[in-house]
Structure 1
Amino acid sequence: MSKSQYPVTIQSNPPGATVCVKNKKGVTVHKAITPATLSLEASSGFFSPERYTFQFDKNGYHQGSCSLSAGMDPWYIGNVIFGGLIGIVIVDPLTGAMWKLDDTVYGNLSQNHNAQNISEKEAPLLASMETSKKLKDLKDLKDNGLITPQEYETKRKALVETL
């Protein structure tokens, strides 16, 4: 009755931040540009809920972070009625269906006022460097199959227009 992967929407204030998602072992499982929706595993193993940390980066802002932990899915208790002992101690713990993730994560980044002290000559160069990094990150997302070619092209065009 339950699932083991959940779509999680990641938003940031301001939008357009690069987010790096790591599981509880510290392994990077996704990289995206906000807003984004990713499919995340609720379990990290038998009877073990997953925990994710989200690191947000955007030029001109201090880094931000937040976390998300899987919680017990109320349907897991339904095994007492529908699935019996096998569902409680084998099937749901093995498949990860006993855990559930929230559907939205928010990251807040505070403005870095020191970044505003850049000279007028340096600002265009830094902006183009930021755009170049975003284009590279975007290509990596496409190459790793994390976004579709259509999503890549749409976001690439939007970034190029900022130059």
Structure 2
Amino acid sequence: MTLKKTAAAICAAGMVSLSGCASIVGDTDQQITINSTPSKADVVISDEHSQEVFQGTTPTTVTLKKADGSYFGGKSYTVELSKEGYDSRAISITSAPNGWYIGGNILFGGLIGWLVVDPLTGAMYTLSPDDIDAGLGESVASHDGGKTLNLVLTEDVPQELRKDMRLLGQL
């Protein structure tokens, strides 16, 4: 092997040892899709420090950080959905180590990737759920027994539930 080829091989080995597998194939951000029934609900997303990171209306797609920038610091979020005349909903988004971090570093990244690079970049995490489809349910009547009657428009009923709908009366 020539000196040039040896230097190239050493350089390549050094690059692999200084990188983490999740950092190579993963991103530090992740897109989250948020839909609601009914649509045009207000969305407020706050992080684990109660800092508001997004405000908008459904349907929407937001890009969220997967890590907080600290060593092994995965992010978590609370998505609050509200619309006047409807019940509000709060959904948690949490981070967990992904398969590239776990399996990839066993095969390729080694201890440097496992303990240094991937924990610092945040690419080792996946946010879950990454697709939110929340029903808000309009509260129109209740009695002392705690039961409520919810009315929704047919177009706001998810397609997979429409087959179970039955006509109860005629106008």
- Same fold, judged at TM 0.5 (above): yes
- What is the distance in 1 between the residues matched to 2:40 and 2:79? 14
1:47 aligns with 2:72: yes
Task: Say which SS state the counterpart of residue 70 (structure 1) adopts.
Answer: strand
TM-score normalised according to structure 2 size: 0.63
Stretches of structure 2 that go unaligned for 5 or more consecutive residues are 1-24, 142-171
User: Deviation at 1:79?
Assistant: 1.1
Q: Does the aligned pair in 2 maintain the 1:68–1:105 contact within 8 Å?
A: no
Q: 2:132 matched to which residue of 1?
A: 105
Task: Say which SS state the counterpart of residue 88 (structure 1) adopts.
Answer: helix
Task: Say which SS state the counterpart of residue 108 (structure 2) adopts.
Answer: coil
- What is the distance in 2 between the residues matched to 1:64 and 1:101? 19
Q: Aligned runs of 1:1-163 on 2, under 5 Å?
A: 1-44=25-68, 45-77=70-102, 78-102=104-128, 103-113=130-140
| Counterpart code for 1:43 | A
Task: Say which SS state the counterpart of residue 43 (structure 1) adopts.
Answer: coil
User: Deviation at 1:86?
Assistant: 1.1
- What is the distance in 2 between the residues matched to 1:47 and 1:59? 39
- What is the distance in 2 between the residues matched to 1:41 and 1:107? 22
| Counterpart code for 1:97 | A
| Counterpart code for 2:65 | E
User: Deviation at 1:108?
Assistant: 2.3
Q: Which has the larger radius of gyration?
A: 2
- What is the distance in 1 between the residues matched to 2:139 and 2:48? 29
Stretches of structure 1 that go unaligned for 5 or more consecutive residues are 115-163
User: Deviation at 1:106?
Assistant: 2.6
Task: Say which SS state the counterpart of residue 10 (structure 1) adopts.
Answer: strand
Q: 1:133 matched to which residue of 2?
A: none
CA-based RMSD of the aligned residues comes to: 1.3
| Counterpart code for 2:35 | Q
TM-score normalised according to structure 1 size: 0.66
Q: If each structure's helix is expressed as a fraction of its own residues, which one has the higher value?
A: 1
Q: Does the aligned pair in 2 maintain the 1:18–1:34 contact within 8 Å?
A: yes
Deviations 1:8-60 (A, max 9, x none): 10111111101000011110000111010000111123212211101111111
Q: 2:21 matched to which residue of 1?
A: none
- What is the distance in 2 between the residues matched to 1:110 and 1:92? 41
Structure 1 residue runs of 4 or more that deviate by more than 4 Å after TM superposition? none
